[in-house]
Amino acid sequence: MRDTIFISHATPEDNEFTIWLASRLELLGYKVWIDKKELLGGETFWETIESAIKINATKFLLVYSKHICYPNSTEIKAGIQKEIDFARSVMADDNLNDFFIILHMDDTGYDLFPGSRDLNQIAFSENWAEGLTVLQKKLIRDNVVKANFHDMDEAATWYLNNYIVKNPIVEKKELYYTNWWSVKSLPTSFFILRFTNEKQASTVASLNDGCLLVQDSNCITTFNKDLKVDIKDNFGTTQIKPVDIFEIKIGDLILGYEKESFPSHRDAENHLKKLFKRSLHSYFKSKKMFWYDMSNKNLAYYHTYSSLPTSKVKFDFPYRADVKSKTKNLIGKHLDVGKWHFAVSAKTALAPFVGFHLKSHIIFSKSGYQAIENKDIQHSHRRKKGKLMFNEEWRDLLLAFMKSIENSDGNIILSTSTETDIIMKPSVETFWSDFGYIDPKDWKRQELFVQPDRDDMDEEPELE
């Protein structure tokens, strides 16, 4: 049964890509054959290769680069030429459609050997992940069977155990930074004011324009129940009073309770999350920050030269008194597009800590202010800029961002329009681990891990 994807490549020049591809295909569920003995410096007998191609292979993939030729020559290396010729004969003898697929790795011409132009060619030269996406669609369209779990070659496991030796997980005490930003203190209660209809709620909301509140249909959620409700006109003063005022203790909400009538536990959670998000939006707005509407309708906040004239922020690492302060740019030049901005979006959560889940982004603008509206341009350049940014870089940018939004006294205080504001912790939560990971420094190794971008969906509505 033909159930194996055979990969032919130049050793050792294209080993890195070949092992990456084999591991990714196997993680997708396919059975893969690569010459592991040759990779480790051993000898693979031709009978083994011949059998794999003639009997087992459902696809023959050729890693097509300048390395399949002898140095400074257009002559194909003997071993690779032998595999090419044999694969083409098998394809012809067994009448196999689209059996031979070329994975084009660089700017090498399309005619290194006779007939190569007539074969399927998939571009991997710009981005490995994008090439893999095209290849995966081809395998699905051609109904290439996936392997039973016990039949898999475990190329991914072999790759991790035998090949990635530059950046292993090692035993060392290391401080990890999460994306969790917790509340230090907050009011004990919030209120849901329910009015007769939506128009009444809208009118009261407009009367309290400077107060922290969120309107949802005929309800207003706020920390301050004493809202302005008086409407004055030529005939006197009219009051728009709520028909119900629900006080919800935040501690009880976090512990959980059962209630069938409005507001249920789920209702109260959603109202509080929206109120928290509004308070953060108001804080960023007070800092003269800009925001960009992500494809999932969440907002990503970023500095411009109005809120951060120098574009630089100096910050310190916690628990590292012996280390000098570090400086990071949160705005910078990017190719011919204009400027890049480090941005943060936030999702409110109440457990296991009350606070926000933060997500880091890169936003692009022409002049350092208004973000480019074209989503395709944003996506394309986010990939180009972000694909070589690993854990250390993202960590430092986030720490610099947190430092940049502090008040002059070093605090981050979200107004509640009451005597008790929301005081945030100065930075994200951290934890210690007995194991660590060394970030890749070589861009070729970093390219292994490039994955298509996607924005996590957020059910919370956008803020205007």
Domain coordinates of the chain in residue numbers? 4-162, 180-449
Instruction: Indicate the helix (H) or strand (E) that contains 397.
Output: helix 391-404
Give how far the C-alpha of residue 31 lies from the chain's centroid of Cα atoms, to the nearest Å: 28
Q: What are phi and psi of 329, to 5 degrees?
A: -85, 130
> Structure pTM?
0.65
DSSP state of 371: B
A 10 A CB-CB count for 34 gives 26
Q: For residues 128 and 156, what is the distance between their CA atoms, to the nearest angstrom?
A: 16
Q: Which distant-in-sequence residues (6+ apart) come within 8 Å of 358 by Cβ?
A: 179, 180, 181, 344, 345, 346, 398, 428
CATH class held by domain 4-162: alpha beta
Q: Report the SS3 class of residue 301.
A: strand
Q: Which distant-in-sequence residues (6+ apart) come within 8 Å of 184 by Cβ?
A: 423, 424, 425
Q: Which distant-in-sequence residues (6+ apart) come within 8 Å of 31 by Cβ?
A: 3, 4, 5, 146, 147, 151, 152, 153
Q: Report the SS3 class of residue 309.
A: coil
The whole-number pLDDT of residue 440 equals 58
Q: Which distant-in-sequence residues (6+ apart) come within 8 Å of 71 by Cβ?
A: none
Q: Which distant-in-sequence residues (6+ apart) come within 8 Å of 42 by Cβ?
A: none
CB-neighbour burial class of residue 362 (10 A; exposed 0-12, middle 13-18, buried 19+): buried
Buried/exposed 1-18: b ≥16 CB within 10 Å, e otherwise: eeebbbbbbbeeebbbbb
The whole-number pLDDT of residue 446 equals 42
Q: For residues 173 and 152, what is the distance between their CA atoms, to the nearest angstrom?
A: 36
Tokens of 33: 């054959």
A 10 A CB-CB count for 460 gives 17
Tokens of 168: 């292993």
CB-neighbour burial class of residue 441 (10 A; exposed 0-12, middle 13-18, buried 19+): exposed
* Tens digit of each residue's pLDDT, the chain (464 residues): 789 999 999 988 888 889 889 888 988 889 999 886 555 556 678 888 999 999 999 999 999 999 999 998 889 999 999 999 999 999 999 999 999 999 999 888 888 888 888 888 999 988 888 899 999 999 999 999 987 654 445 555 655 555 555 556 778 888 889 999 999 999 999 999 999 999 999 999 999 999 999 999 999 999 999 999 999 877 788 999 999 999 999 999 999 999 989 999 999 999 999 999 999 999 999 999 999 998 878 999 999 999 999 999 999 987 776 678 899 999 999 988 899 999 999 999 998 899 999 999 999 999 999 999 998 899 888 877 877 677 889 999 999 999 999 999 999 999 999 999 999 999 999 999 998 876 655 444 444 444 333 333 233 333 44
The whole-number pLDDT of residue 146 equals 86
